[in-house]
Chain A
């Protein structure tokens, strides 16, 4: 019972074990939603998460399949009362991640508009 972020720890463990991500960013946005109506009976400080995951496991999968893969790993945490209420996902392959970084580093050379 030592960890102050048990849900985040589980997210990290499960995703690392199953997807061997090259990038795994976990943002806990729960504080932004603490006064949101659906949270009024929740004591948990770990309800809203935003994840950026880059993994080979996403290769040749469309976005819905990638998201389902992650939802599947965290099924228990999402179904449990007081568990994860919202999970924002950004799922990339390592190649897509690299391209994204390159684009962010040199936005001026980008020909395609971002919006």
Chain B
């Protein structure tokens, strides 16, 4: 059951999903759903609710192949590296491994109306896939967005807040 496996994934998350999770070799081979070829599969309510919950589980959520420690795809790896470079607060970040759950893997594509993985959500809003993350990283839009959403780790966030409000800087 999908909702249960989401719960399991949620439980597994330490802040920032930093705990290593063993890769699931059973799912590393890509099996595109046959449904999508012949008919539009409708996202079931339970799947949708479970994804709603996943998207809301942290301010910054990445649906990826593999885990932050062991990404199973170069695009997922690039995305996680960028979030790290930007200084996203691990306590405000969650990663979901779509390879662990075929239903999540297909469901998220329909949920986001986006056919590829990884997918980044910030404050429950879809931001984009790897190419968009990379281009926003390069043009400064990502830094600005993460700062506005207050999801950067303490040092960066305090600096930004102090600069913005002209407040006394705390230790």
Contact = CB atoms under 8 A, between A and B. Distances in A.
B133 to A, nearest CB: 10
B86 interface: no
Interface string B94-132: 000000000000000000011110000000001111111
Given A79-B32, A83-B32, A85-B30, A67 B129 contact: yes
A2 B130 CA distance: 34
A87 B116 contact: yes
A89 B114 CA distance: 13
B37 A79 contact: yes
B138 A71 contact: no
Contacts, number: 60
Contacts of B72: 37-38
A71 B109 CA distance: 11
A81 B28 contact: no
B154 interface: no
A10 interface: no
B131 A80 contact: no
A25 to B, nearest CB: 14
Contact of A38 (B29, B36, B37): B29
A64 B115 CA distance: 12
Contact of B113 (A68, A83, A85): A68
Nearest to A76: B37
Interface of B: 28-34, 36-37, 72-75, 113-116, 126-132, 135, 138
Interface of A: 33, 36-41, 63-64, 67-68, 71, 75-76, 78-81, 83, 85-90, 114-115
A25 B29 CA distance: 29
B29 A80 contact: no
B132 A63 contact: yes
Contacts of B28: 37-38
Contacts of A33: 74
A85 B153 CA distance: 34
Contacts of A76: 37
Contact of A81 (B32, B129, B130): B32
Which of A71, A75, A79 has the most C-beta atoms of chain B within 10 angstroms of its own C-beta? A79
Contacts of A78: 115-116
A67 B128 contact: yes
Contact of A79 (B30, B36, B129): B36
Given A37-B28, A67-B131, A90-B131, A81 B34 contact: yes
13 contacts: A38-B28, A38-B29, A63-B128, A63-B135, A64-B126, A64-B127, A67-B128, A67-B131, A79-B33, A80-B32, A83-B32, A88-B130, A90-B135
